Amino acid sequence: MEDPAYIDIMIHEPARLKIMSSLMGISEGDMADFSLLKKLTGLSDGNLSVQLRRLEDCGYVLIDKRFVGRKPKTFVSISDRGRRAFYSYVDTLEKIINAATENQKKDVK
């Protein structure tokens, strides 16, 4: 088993976890626009921008900036790497929870 103490800090930070969880809820191959992510996560424009850049820098999200009707729009999707990292993150949390549950059961006996 992998070291259960290792948690992907890039995802574990609360704002980035909200972003990644929101993107995981969008159909694979689809993109969320900035406004939708802002609504789903409750983050401010500035915080959302900073956290998206961090996720993009590590390859977890793809950002596409384009003009729609002469207005700039930002679209975001989770990358294959980001999807794998998210599943690994969830798997790690499950292992930690299962280990804690097993320890509690032993203590009760």
Cα 92–Cα 44–Cα 83 angle in degrees, nearest 5: 30
In this prediction, residue 101 carries a pLDDT of 83
**Does 3 reside within a domain?**
no
Q: What is the mean pLDDT of residues 11-25?
A: 97
Buried b (16+ CB within 10 A) or exposed e, 52-70: bebbeeeebbbeeeeeeee
pLDDT over 70 at 2, yes or no: no
**Does 100 reside within a domain?**
yes
Question: How much of the chain exceeds pLDDT 70, in percent?
Answer: 89
Q: Which two tokens stand for residue 90?
A: 């969830």
Secondary element (H or E) of residue 41: helix 34-41
In this prediction, residue 107 carries a pLDDT of 61
**Does 2 reside within a domain?**
no
Who wins on pLDDT, 2 or 20?
Answer: 20
Report the distance separating Cα 73 and Cα 86, nearest Å.
26
**Does 4 reside within a domain?**
no
In this prediction, residue 24 carries a pLDDT of 96
Range of the domain at 56: 9-108
Q: What is the mean pLDDT of residues 78-104?
A: 90
Who wins on pLDDT, 97 or 21?
Answer: 21
**Does 29 reside within a domain?**
yes
What's the CATH code of the domain at 29? Answer: 1.10.10.10
Write the pLDDT tens digit of every residue in 23-76.
Answer: 999 987 889 999 999 999 999 999 999 999 999 999 999 999 999 899 999 999
**How many folded domains does the chain comprise?**
1
pLDDT band of 103, cuts 50, 70, 90:
low
